[in-house]
Structure 1
Amino acid sequence: MKASQLLVGAAKSASYNMILQLTTRILTFVLNAFTLRYISHDLLGVVNVRLTLLYSTSIFITREAFNRACLSHVGKASWTQVINLIWLTVPFSVVVCGILSFIWSSYLQRPDPSIIPYYDIGVFTFALSTMIEVLAQPLWVIGQSFMFVKLRVLMDSFLLSVKSIITVVLILCKPQLGIIIFSLAQVVSMLAYVLAYYIYFAFYAKRIRKKNDDFPLKGIRDFFPKFIKNKHFINYDQALLTWSFIKQSFLKQFLTEGEKYVMTIFKILSFADQGIYDVVHNLGSLAARFIFCPIEESGYLFFSRLLQRGKPLKEQANESSDLAPKVLSALLKSVTLIGLTILVYGYSYSFLALDIYGGSALSASAGPMLLRWYSLYVLVIALNGVTECFVFAAISQKGLDRYNRIMLLFSVTFLAASWILTQMFGSVGFILANCLNMLLRIAHSVRFIWYYFEQTSDHPLRALLLRPEIIFSFLLTFAVTYLSGSMFCCDQGVWKRVIHVVVGGACLLTNLLFVWFFEKDLIHFIRTQYSQQKQTSQQSKSTKTKIRNQKSKKS
């Protein structure tokens, strides 16, 4: 696949992933707003922090390393070897889930059974959902490799929809079941998700069996592992890369969900306080999940396919060496502008957002202060995601192993910072510790990028230096929205709140106009990629029409 086609595919993937994230976040947003009014904060803390942490830890450790390694080796190892390797996630998940379930049940603080019953059932079912989900991993990797971007949107939306429907129905009909409600929703939705993947690819493989020689699945048997004549069961280099990513995944997961681990292990907050913190965390991370995660995933997919891992820029193909700095520069500029927008508006609209979302129980607590600080964290997350996606795609395996050791140091620093800062600032200390952790990771990534592109005339890191006009527009927006919040928000009637929102909308339009007029290079790059994506889509439709016409003539 050509570099230009890869970029179009990655851009299309990011677009569809943003649609997916928007859909899932809206559903989750509505579901959380609903459950906040029907279940206790203690139950919310146990489910959304303790049990969800068990699931996110087990699924990340189990599949992240295999996914990254397999996507990096597409076209470099036989598809049978790739599928054989990805199926190793199944026994690996059994081991990981068994260990984590034992820890969650035996060594962590248990909720009061008179308030939160069925805790052990919740631990078992959330771990079981991981073992079910990895059964679809071979098909997920194939879908990502062949740019089945719509498929992922549909499948993930289907998963969340099933889970949301089951949760809402059970809460309305049997609220006394407590944890069992969320356990049933987790397992049933995961079973439906895996079944839907297999049904789709069974029909797809049958339909294109004689049309597409590049597609690896010719029948149901190809979904599963098998031995290859005169070849090893798995690719050795791919297996080594997987092991490097596995060692890294433990540290990366700890750094990603660090505050939840600290809450869980050291009992710093009660289950009710954890529930409130999780609500603020989910609301504050909407932009990160909706915008930045798709950009990071698509960026990694693009750079890993564009660049040869471990080789300097001068040894890459000419098209790759020309395109890589332009794309990285555009990504850095984009996420910086989006992150600054969230930071500026998050300060003045945190109280209003929480009051609308969860009522006075959230807005009258420490929620608004948490959300304001979280707005700063979102900006840091944005920069870390883009810089790391490039580093992980371009770094050598030895460099990756060195980075694993550095991440161990980051983990220790984060743990110490979390403990100290939470003693000083309460739950805000978690956010400050996360910011420190991300800044350290950004510094490491920036150093790698600087030396990687040091001989490039237009260095991509210069994209982080914003024009004075843009900085002025954000400072002006902050001042205006702050004054608007003081005058019209938030206990002064509905119409004054509406005025506050209208003021924010007018300021946002002003910021967009400043970007349009003063960031010409970024706007030109985005318009060019959009045009290429549209042209590629039209060519694909035209090709399909010609094939159909030829078939009709023959018949």
Structure 2
Amino acid sequence: MGSQDVLRETTRLASSSALLQILFRVITFGLNAFTLRYVSKEIIGLVNVRLMLLYSTVVFLAREAFRRACLSGSTKRNWMKTFNLLWLTVPLGVCWSLFLGWIWLDILEVPDANAVPHYKFGVVVFGLSAVVELLGEPFWVLAQVHLFVRLKVIAESLSVISKCFLTVILVVLYPHWGLYIFSLAQLLYTSILVLSYIVYFMKFLGSPEAIKKSFPVTHMTSVLPSFEQDEAFVNWKEAKLTWSFFKQSFLKQVLTEGERYVMTFLNVLNFGDQGVYDIVNNLGSLTARFIFLPIEESFYVYFAKVLERGKDIKVQKQDDISMAAAVLESLLKLVLLIGLTIAVFGYAYSQLALDLYGGSMLSSGSGPNLLRCYSLYVLLLAVNGVTECFTFASMSKEEVDSIGFILANCFNMGIRIAHSIHYIYRYFGESPYRPLKGLLISPLLIVVYIISGVVTGVSEVFLCCDKGWIARLIHIAVGALCFTVTVATIFFTETKLIHFVRTHFLSKYTKEGLK
């Protein structure tokens, strides 16, 4: 598959994932708003902060390093050794689940059984759910490397919809079940997710379509762990790269879920306040979840397939290098403009958004200021995701190690961005390509952003949020006008980016519309 084909499939994967994440976020927020009317905010806080932290920590520490290592390289590899390596995530997940489950049950504060019943059951089932999800890891990597976009969309859609459907039914019929409801729903989610991948490959492997495409795996038994006496159990190059990524996993997980660890281990908030915080936190990170994360995951695959890891830029195919540089520049410009737009308009509309979503419970107190801070934080997330996806896709094992040890003690979001930018600058230093120009925007657009921020900020002071519905509508209209002007300015000043988006993200939907 050529670099153009990889780019086309990658953009399909990114756009589909982004649309999927939007759907999931809408469903999740609707579900949160619904369940708050039937169960206590203490249960919401315990599920969304403590139990989901247990689940995400087990899954992340058990599989993140394996994913990054096994997604690198071409589709033509010894898949038996790759599968053997990926199956190690399951026993690793069991060990993490048992260890962290012990901490969650015996070390951390146990909630009052009257306010939050069935806590032990919840810990056991959420830990089990993490292990169940790891059972599908070989199938997920196989699908991701071969860019099976539709499979990912269908599998995740079925699992999320099933989880929400079961939650709604149990919340309405048996609200007194407490954590039973959310634990069973989480187990259903992971089970359907894994079964979707297994059922798909059971039908696909060995089929005429797979044979026509010369698919490298022919039978389901080939995916299972196997050992040949004449060969090593795993690809040691992939294994060493996995270890390099694994040494960073702890720190990255702490940085990603830092506030949840603070709330869980230091008890700075009660469970009810944790529930409110989590709702605000999810609203603030919407863009990171449904735009930046799909872009980062999809284009990590693209850069890993197009570039040769650890090789100097001079000895690689110059057509691939040129394409990678152009894609990186456009991605940087795209996420930077998205981040700036959210930072400018998020400041003035945080209180209104919370008031519309959850009423005075969310819009009063520290909620609006917290959401405003997230609007600024999105700027860092925007640049960090793209620069890191390129950096980790092209670095050698030795360079990956340097990140894990040399920068470990001072590793924060700003340093991560600076390090990735420095690496990209050196990577393209002796070539004519300058993808970091994607971080530069026109002076006119900067002026428009500043004016929009000032105008909407003044509008918030005089029109939001206790001045009545007419004032709110005027405030919204002011924001809509400023947003329209901003988008129009982007359209006329960033022509190169617009061409990139039209060509690689929107062309698929345009063609389908013409059919």
Q: TM-score, normalised by structure 1?
A: 0.89
Contact 2:58 2:97 in 1 (8 A): yes
| Contact 1:251–1:407 under 8 Å retained in 2 | no
Distance 2:175 2:102 in 1: 28
Does residue 1:366 correspond to 2:361, yes or no? no
SS in 2 for 1:211: helix
> Does the residue aligned with 1:506 lie in a helix, a strand or coil?
helix
Q: Distance in 1 between matches of 2:51 and 2:357?
A: 23
Structure 2 residue 488 is matched with structure 1 residue 505: no
Q: 1:535, CA displacement in angstroms? A: 10
Answer whether contact 1:299 1:389 (CA < 8 A) is retained.
Answer: yes
Are residues 1:187 and 2:214 paired? no
Aligned to 2:435: 460
Tell me which stretches of 4 or more aligned residues in structure 1 moved more than 4 Å: 530-538
Equivalents in 2 of 1:327, 1:398: separation in Å? 26
**Deviation sequence 1:196-255 (CA, Å, 0-9, x none):** 221121112243366335313323322312234632221111111111111121221111
Superposed CA offset, 1:239-280 (max 9, x none) = 111111111212211111111112212222222222111111
| Structure 1 residues 537 and 246: alpha-carbon distance in aligned structure 2, compared to 1, 3 A threshold | farther
In the other structure, the counterpart of 2:124 is 124
Cα displacement (A) at 1:159: 1.1
Give the counterpart of 1:482 among 448, 457, 470.
Answer: 457
Q: Check if 1:470 corresponds to 2:445.
A: yes
Q: CA deviation at 1:110?
A: 1.9
Match of 1:547 in 2: none
- 1:208 and 1:217 map into 2 onto residues whose CA distance is 13
Give the gaps of 5 or more residues in structure 1. Answer: 412-436, 542-555
In the alignment, structure 1 residue 145 sits paired with structure 2 residue 140: no
The Cα shift of 1:316 comes to: 1.5
Of 519, 525, 529, which residue of structure 1 is paired with 2:500? 525
**In the alignment, what sits opposite 1:280?**
280
Q: After TM superposition, give the deviation of residue 530 of structure 1 in Å.
A: 4.7
What residue identity is the alignment partner of 1:496?
A
Match of 1:331, SS?
A: helix
| % identical equivalent positions | 46
User: Aligned runs of 1:211-290 on 2, under 5 Å?
Assistant: 211-212=211-212, 214-228=214-228, 230-290=230-290
Quote the offset at 1:450 in angstroms.
Answer: 1.5
**Are positions 1:42 and 2:17 aligned together?**
no
**Cα displacement (A) at 1:458:** 4.1
**Any gaps of 5 or more consecutive residues in structure 2?**
none
Whether contact under 8 Å (1:65, 1:249) holds in the other structure is yes
Rounded Cα–Cα distance in structure 1 between residues aligned with 2:177 and 2:509? 50
Deviation at 1:531, TM superposition (A): 7.7
Deviation at 1:393, TM superposition (A): 0.6
The Cα shift of 1:537 comes to: 9.0
**1:140/1:314 Cα in 2 relative to 1: closer, same or farther (>3 Å)?**
same
- Whole-angstrom CA distance in 2 between matches of 1:534 and 1:487: 42
Alpha-carbon distance in 2 for matches of 1:6, 1:491: 51
Q: For residues 387 and 113 of structure 2, what CA distance do their matches in structure 1 show?
A: 45
- Equivalent residues of 1:77, 1:235 under 8 A apart: no
Tell me how far 1:76 sits from its aligned partner.
5.6
Q: d(CA) in 2 for partners of 1:102 and 1:532? A: 51
What is aligned with 2:354? 354
For 1:263 and 1:502, the matched residues in 2 are separated by: 38
Cα distance, 1:206–1:498 mapped onto 2, change above 3 Å: farther
Structure 1 counterpart of 2:329, one-letter code: S
Cα distance, 1:533 vs structure 2: 5.5
Q: Which amino acid aligns with 1:526?
A: V
- Return the alpha-carbon distance in structure 1 between the equivalents of residues 460 and 41 of structure 2: 29
Q: 2:392 and 2:447 mapped to 1: Cα distance? A: 35
Deviation at 1:26, TM superposition (A): 0.8
Letter in 2 for 1:333: K
Output the amino acid matched with 1:191: S
Question: C-alpha distance in 1, partners of 2:136/2:495?
Answer: 43
- Residues 521 and 27 of structure 1: CA distance in aligned 2, closer, same or farther (over 3 Å): same
Aligned to 1:400: 400
Count of matched residue positions in the alignment of Structure 1 and Structure 2: 514
Other-structure match for 2:314:
314
In 2, the alpha carbon distance for the partners of 1:406 and 1:368 equals 37
Contact 1:330-1:463 at 8 Å conserved across structures: yes
CA contact (8 A) 1:25 1:286 kept: yes
The residue type equivalent to 2:306 in the other structure is: L
Q: Which residue of 2 aligns with 1:514?
A: 489
457-466 or 349-358, which deviates more:
457-466
- SS of 1:491 mapped into structure 2: coil
Q: Which residue of 2 aligns with 1:170?
A: 170
